[in-house]
Structures are given as structure tokens and as C-alpha cells.
Amino acid sequence: MIVRIIAGAPSVYLDNFSNDYVIAVDFGVEHAVVNNIKIDLAVGDFDSVDKKLLTGLKTVELNPVKDETDLYVAVLEAIKLKPDKIYIYGATNGRFDHYYANINLLDLYNIEIVDEINRIYIMHDSAVVKKKNEYVSFFHYSGNPVISLLGFKYELRDYKLEFRDNLCVSNEVMEEKGIVKVTNGKILVVHSIK
């Protein structure tokens, strides 16, 4: 099962949502309705959505005065379903403080943030990256990650990726596929369309 969460940032890129479980978060309800996407669950304090749009929807209504963001609660609701993967849309186009908080959600589960240009996720082991018309960047996330990149324009072997290290920005897969190996920690991976 795939869960797709539509958050409430002002501009939202949306994939094909057919057959997936959809959670709309606050203003994300309006994005879903405008794009004719079936909503399985609406989560939020709904301070920025027309309440008429909530009629007939299964909702988790939150108090506007709370410690967690609406999106954080939506992710916890998604995790309860034990999906194979969670995709989040509308998490990058608004306020930077929310964008940064949303990056912190990636470590809760197998989650990927998606927008018009980027795909963002956490990696802690080995993976294959297929060649596409995109840049791939790697950043320290936690622990003491050691990274190897094979089949990339700028290859690395057993490189200790430090906190605030920007060496691995804007790399490209040169072969049919690139191999990424990570040990001793986690890295943040960002795929960006050229």
C-alpha cells in the first residue's frame, strides 16, 4: 500500500493518486478537491480550509493550539496503516520553517517529499539510482555516514560525509545506474530536475 499525503503549501505538484490511500492536510483538502482526488482522511485544525469541503469526509480535527504540526499528525496517521511507502506533496513551497520541519519527518518512516523539481528522502544503506535528467545531491543527516558513489560523474570511495559538508551537491549518474553505499549513519538525498 502507498499513502500519499497532500499538505497545504500554496503550490502543489500532484502525481497519479489512483488506487492509493490519500490523506489531505488542512489546505491540502482544497488541492485534492480541485484536482478531483478522492480523500480517504482529512487531518488538521482546518483553519485555512472551507469547512463545507469537509462534509462527508473522515477527519482528524486538531486543536489549533498544539505542539505538533498538522503534517506531523498526518504522517503518524499514515504510519498506523503500515504502508510500503509514504509520499508527501505540498511540503516545500511555503514557509521555510515548515519546510525544515517537514525534512525532519523523513526519518519517521519510509517517506519521500515530492514537488515539481525535487524528490527528497533519507538513505542509510545501499541503493541504485537510475540515470535521469537530474542532479543528485547527498548531505549528512545523522551519525557518522561514510559514502561511496559509483557510476556518478564525481565518484567517491569511503568518504566520511561531515555535517555541513557540501562536497556532494549536484552530482549526476553517468552510467545506466549509479550505486550509492552508506554506512555508519544516514544521509539526506535530493534528486533535482536539471
Q: H/E/C letters for each residue in the chain?
A: CEEEEECCCCCCCCCCCCCCEEEEECCHHHHHHHCCCCCCEEEECCCCCCHHHHCCCCEEECCCCCCCCHHHHHHHHHHHCCCCEEEEECCCCCCHHHHHHHHHHHHHCCEEEECCCEEEEEECCEEEEECCCEEEEEEEEEEEEEEEEECECCCEEEEECCCCCCCCCCECECCCEEEEEEEEEEEEEEEEEC
pLDDT tens digits, one per residue of 61-88: 998 888 889 999 999 999 999 999 999 9
Residue 192 pLDDT greater than 90, yes or no: yes
What is residue 151's predicted lDDT score, i.e. its pLDDT?
96
Residue found by looking up cell 528522502 in the block: 121
What band does 154 get if pLDDT is binned at 50, 70 and 90? Answer: very high
Q: What is the arithmetic mean of pLDDT over 97-106? A: 92
pLDDT tens digits, one per residue of 22-41: 999 999 999 999 889 999 99
Q: What is the arithmetic mean of pLDDT over 144-152? A: 97
Domains and CATH numbers, the chain: 2-116 (3.40.50.10240), 122-193 (2.60.120.320)
The overall pTM is greater than 0.85: yes
- Contact by Cβ (8 Å): 32, 90: no
What band does 146 get if pLDDT is binned at 50, 70 and 90? Answer: very high
